[in-house]
Amino acid sequence: MNKLTIIGNLTRDPESHTTPQGINVCNFTVAVNSRRRTGTQQDGQTAQQPQDEATFFRVTAWRQLGENCQKYLGKGRKVCVVGPVTGRTYTANDGTTRMSLDVTAEDVEFLTPRGEVVASVPYENAPAAEPAPTMQNSGFTNVTSDELPF
């Protein structure tokens, strides 16, 4: 099974286009930060220094998912992406061989709160979140601890 789950931030605004068959495709890049400890030698002692490192994933979202990503995502937004990953190599402009990690999004969750403005793209037309269930409309009955048999 090839399924990857990443959580990170968009490095730039999504780019969208339509295939000749009329299918919407949205592309964006997600930076996933990880903190690693590196050992350094100072005065005969090894010190562990935390160092941030980013891994970049190119994400492709198709059809309605792609339309929603184009509409609601922007540079700096935090997302969770789930889907299969493929690695490919290519030759950069400077002649070096590089590797790219490409994810075909099956699910994208928008993690930046709607009211929080990270970049210049607010969630102005995002659908309203449904209210949290209350005791009256959740289907549960309120029980006090005196009523419990244990």
Contact 77, 12 (CB under 8 A): no
Q: How far is CA 117 from CA 75, 105, 124, 147, in A?
A: 10, 24, 10, 47
Q: What is the pLDDT of residue 51?
A: 75
pTM value is 0.66
Q: List domains and CATH numbers for the chain.
A: 4-34+48-123 (2.40.50.140)
pLDDT tens per residue across span 109-144: 999 876 665 544 444 444 444 444 454 555 555 666
Strands (E), the chain: 4-10, 15-18, 24-42, 45-62, 78-83, 85-91, 97-104, 107-110
150 residues of the chain, pLDDT tens digit each:
899 999 999 999 999 999 999 999 999 999 998 877 666 666 666 666 777 888 899 999 999 999 999 999 999 999 999 999 999 898 889 999 988 899 999 999 999 876 665 544 444 444 444 444 454 555 555 666 666 665
